[in-house]
Amino acid sequence: MSSAAASKNKMYYIHIVIYLVILFGIGFIPPFGAITEMGMKVLGVFIGTIYGWLTLGLVWPSIFAMVALGLTDYIGIQQAFCDGFGYMNIPILIMSFVFAAIADQTHITEYLANWLTSRKIIVGRPYALMAVLFFGMEVLNLLGTGFVGVFIIWGLIVSLAEAAGYQKGNAFVNFMIPSALVIFVISGFVFPFKTSSLIMLGIFTKGTNLVFPDLQYLVWEFVIVNLYIVILLLVAKFILRLDVSALAQLTNDLGTEHRNDKMNSEQAFGLTMLVAYIVMMLLPMLLPKTWAFTQFLSKFGILGSLGILISIAMAKRTPEGKPYVDFGKVAAKGISWDVIWLIVATTPLAAAFQAEECGIMTTLMGFLTPILTNMSPAIFIIACTIILGITTQIVHNLILGIVFIPVLCPLCATMGGNPYACFLAINMALMMAFITPAASMNAGLIFGHPWLNAKTAYMQGTLHLIIGLAITLIVGLPLANILF
């Protein structure tokens, strides 16, 4: 073993010792504030797990986190695992991974990448290509494709990167993959009837007894999302100055080579699957709710639709009479277990952090409330936005929304401020939860992506927090005060 490898191994084991000391040692520190003895143990597991993710990896610290949490008396080990795997997004993610892998097997992603890069408007214009991918991500999400849309756009980005000769760690890929996911997240709030909007708006209404006007809400979100995309492209071109010369050359080379390509039967099958999924997601939103067909289609949802389409793909046979889809191989290739285990672990950890019997959130609120209440309404909203935008990088964003929105928005109103603007700013800040794996479920997707390393994920998460807060405070707040 070389001296460099030996030194690296030594440092790794030192990190394990520090990880275990934090994980179990904080529980022996005397409680403070409203935090209970059990809360101190939970806090130790939470902070230790974040340290483990930062220094040791994602999978085994996530698995061990649930074991450690089960030793705190807050929850049993078996229940911790059950709660983690029982989180509704876990089966959706697994099915979405499998569906995307099947689509990739049909080579439809490769065909779409070639088709896209051969359009005249794209040839020699890599930033036009990036804009199409970003706006395409927004449109796919508005059409209700969910994580499948993310994986399709990610597949296109990776296909383009490979065709251009980019390697893992390339600045173009490092920028595009997280940015596409951020656009997916924030565009999920454009329509007030989408699940993400309904959850957060329900929290706002519960705390304030106010109801958002749908049209003004949609206008605000639509403007902010599309402005975010434009700002991203400007940042990439003039601040990051991404080297996309290889991508420009690729579009030049493929401009004539693939312009008239025809889909083969496999690719046509893949496209049919994608279109069928979009239609199954979209029709229940467009058709009258009273129609029997609409009610029938609404029963399927994401999991039902994916289940049908995956079953159809598995029932398909090759000309040689063999199954077209080998589920074992597709699952092994498509499912990112780094992501799954990361999200499984954050689910019980997030619940423990919020638990009243632990007292952690009560203590945090007790610390922040006196600081915030001595401000003018405008400074109050700005401070809330920045503080929660930073805090959500270590505390799950949904938890902070559930706890703080019903408190801060009414408080803003009593101070003479605009509670609608306060909510929109806070909600946007909470959406920028990408710097650490503990920030949100979506952050786990970035940290688990095979083309990205941890350092890249941290840097990109920080970049998006800065951009998101800047857009919200400079454009979002004035716009909210005009609309509401």
Which residues face 323 on adjacent strands? 317
Mutual orientation of helices 397-414 and 360-372 as an angle, nearest 10°?
30
pLDDT for the residue numbered 141: 84
pLDDT of residue 235: 96
Predicted confidence (pLDDT) per residue in 349-368, tens digit: 878 877 888 888 788 778 87
Q: Which residues contact 24 (CB under 8 A, 6 or more apart)?
A: 44, 48, 68
How much is the pLDDT for 17? 95
Q: Which amino acid is at 336?
A: S
Q: In the numeric block, which tokens belong to residue 190?
A: 């454009």
- Comparing CA positions, the residue from 255, 248, 250, 233 lying closest to residue 124 is 248
Q: Specify the pLDDT at position 255.
A: 57
- Tell which residue, 430, 432, 427, 435, has the closest CA to residue 460: 435
Residue segments in the chain with a per-residue pLDDT below the cut of 50: none
Q: Considering the entire predicted model, what is its pTM?
A: 0.78
pLDDT (tens digit, 9 = 90+) per residue, 72-124?
988 899 999 998 888 777 888 888 889 888 888 888 877 777 777 777 778 77
Three-state DSSP class for residue 199 = helix
Burial of 332 (0-12, 13-18, 19+ CB in 10 A): exposed
Answer yes or no: are the C-beta atoms of 406 and 203 closer than 8 Å. Answer: yes
Q: What is the pLDDT of residue 437?
A: 82
Amino acid letter, 392: T
To the nearest 5 percent, what fractions of the chain are helix, strand and coil?
75, 0, 25
* The predicted structure's pLDDT at residue 386: 94
Output the pLDDT for position 41.
94
Residue 260 has what pLDDT?
66
Q: Which amino acid is at 234?
A: L
Q: What's the burial of 237, exposed, middle or buried (CB within 10 Å: 0-12/13-18/19+)?
A: middle
Say how far apart CA 441 and CA 463 lie, in whole Å.
18
What pLDDT score was predicted for residue 259? 61
What integer pLDDT is reported at residue 63 of this predicted model?
93
3-state secondary structure of 243: coil
Neighbour count for residue 373 (Cβ, 10 Å): 11
Eight-class DSSP state of 198: H
Asked if 413 and 394 touch (Cβ cutoff 8 Å), the reply is no
What kind and span of H or E run contains 278? helix 265-286
Query: How far is the C-alpha of 170 from the C-alpha of 385, rounded, in Å?
Result: 32
Q: What is the pLDDT of residues 51-85, one digit of tens each?
A: 888 788 888 999 999 999 999 988 899 999 998 88
